[in-house]
Structure 1
């Protein structure tokens, strides 16, 4: 898939080589800057299992869509090593910011 350039200059690149390769390329591109990983539960679980996530932001919206995935389920660690750092509650969503212990 071609790169997706957003207004303001942010560019999203898509690869099929797995999360380790994606992180390697992101680190090369970012240099000393932070890296953001976006995706659903499957994507986030891969990086949680790799132990490379330092901060995690989740937006919870009160919408019932049927099924879903538990974000902290099926991880290699016995339990997530995060604490809630900040909660921002709004009418459309609750935003949770977790930081690694």
Structure 2
């Protein structure tokens, strides 16, 4: 369950950074500063940083999901191997019983 909590946290952090980036972009659009002023450049730089952090957390979220899916598939494959072994054993027992 800790992995699922971690995934939720990564996704929430990505969404939070994306929202902050959009807020900085909105502020840059709404500010009456002339284009290219340090104030506008600062807001755009902050937006870029938040977008990069959002991408980072989203990639971590995706990586965690892939790891969970791989573990689940591995567990399923092992269960199917055991089932196959059990079925072969059952077939052998039925053959001996009939034979």
Normalising by structure 1, report the TM-score. 0.23
- Of structures 1 and 2, the one scoring higher in RCO (CA 8 A, sep 6+) is 2
Return the structure number with greater strand share: 1
